[in-house]
Amino acid sequence: MTSNIQTEQLTQAGQQIEHDSFAIVDREAGSHHYGEGEWQVVRRMIHATADFEFNGLTEFSGDAVEAGIRAILNGATIVADVEMICVGLSKPRLAHFGIASHQFIADDDVIAAAKAVNSTRAVQAMRKAQGLGLVDGGIVAVGNAPTALLEVLRMINDGGIKPALIVGMPVGFVSAAESKDALAELRDIPWIITRGRKGGSTLVVAAIHALLSLAESWQKNA
């Protein structure tokens, strides 16, 4: 068992169940090509979904895990495409690192802007986030809307912004796989993706929780 405190389950029974689950995942997943930190992310994603296909579907840029840990230790803001991610993230764990999470998908001004130009709320929500200075230097978390991810990529290519990390795992049939393929082309922005149609907010939350756990371990060993 780890000796983490802030990023563990709150009861000993809960901790034991979680650790036993991780042991089962390790045993049944078979071989993999991931580094130690990467596997902790993938393992938690499998634990959250009971889907072993994420052993293989999940990909990382070369520095993604370290970049995510450093961003967390620096208190980077998390910008999510949907409320589900913000609800799923542990508030005490975020608070330990001084991290705030934001999403704007249901804001009245976002809805009005989307209707005015016939775009999606996800696009306008990301534009609002960047207007507030939250995307540049933040952790971008996309689990639902490919258009949100594509808009962030446009901001990077056209506006020169640099998120600290992009967790890009939109699920679906229209532009989901393509948006992640486009993200994987980036060379100077760290990213974590799931290839193909599979994704979702649950996976994004699991990946960030894994990074929070790794960050706590770094914090203690610093």
Q: Which of 47, 96, 102, 209 is catalytic?
A: 47
Show the DSSP H helices in 30-119 as ranges. 36-49, 54-57, 64-73, 83-88, 91-96, 108-117
- For residue 201, CA distances in Å to 51, 181, 219 come to 15, 18, 27
Q: What pLDDT digit, counting tens, does each position of 141-171 carry?
A: 999 999 999 999 999 999 889 999 999 999 9
Residue 1 has pLDDT above 60, yes or no: no
Q: What is the average pLDDT across 57-78?
A: 97
pLDDT for position 57: 97
Q: What is the average pLDDT across 64-90?
A: 97
pLDDT for position 2: 47
Burial classification of residue 201, based on how many CB atoms lie within 10 Å of its CB (0-12 exposed, 13-18 middle, 19 or more buried): buried
Q: Which residues of 141-163 are buried (b: 16+ CB within 10 A; e: fewer)?
A: bbbbbbbbbbbbbebbeeeebeb
Residue 5 has pLDDT above 60, yes or no: yes
Local confidence band at 18 (pLDDT 50, 70, 90 cut-offs): confident
Separation CA 202–CA 190 (nearest Å): 20
In angstroms, how far is CA 82 from the centroid of its own chain? 12
Separation CA 44–CA 206 (nearest Å): 6
Whether 125 and 150 have beta carbons less than 8 Å apart is answered as no
Whether 157 and 131 have beta carbons less than 8 Å apart is answered as no
Separation CA 47–CA 55 (nearest Å): 11
- Has 32 been annotated as catalytic? no
Closest listed residue to residue 122, CA positions, set 141, 147, 140 = 147
Closest listed residue to residue 18, CA positions, set 32, 38, 4 = 4
Query: What is the residue extent of each domain of the chain?
Result: 58-221
Report the CATH superfamily, name and number, of domain 58-221.
Cobalamin biosynthesis CobH/CbiC, precorrin-8X methylmutase (3.40.50.10230)
Q: What pLDDT digit, counting tens, does each position of 173-191 carry?
A: 999 999 999 999 999 999 9
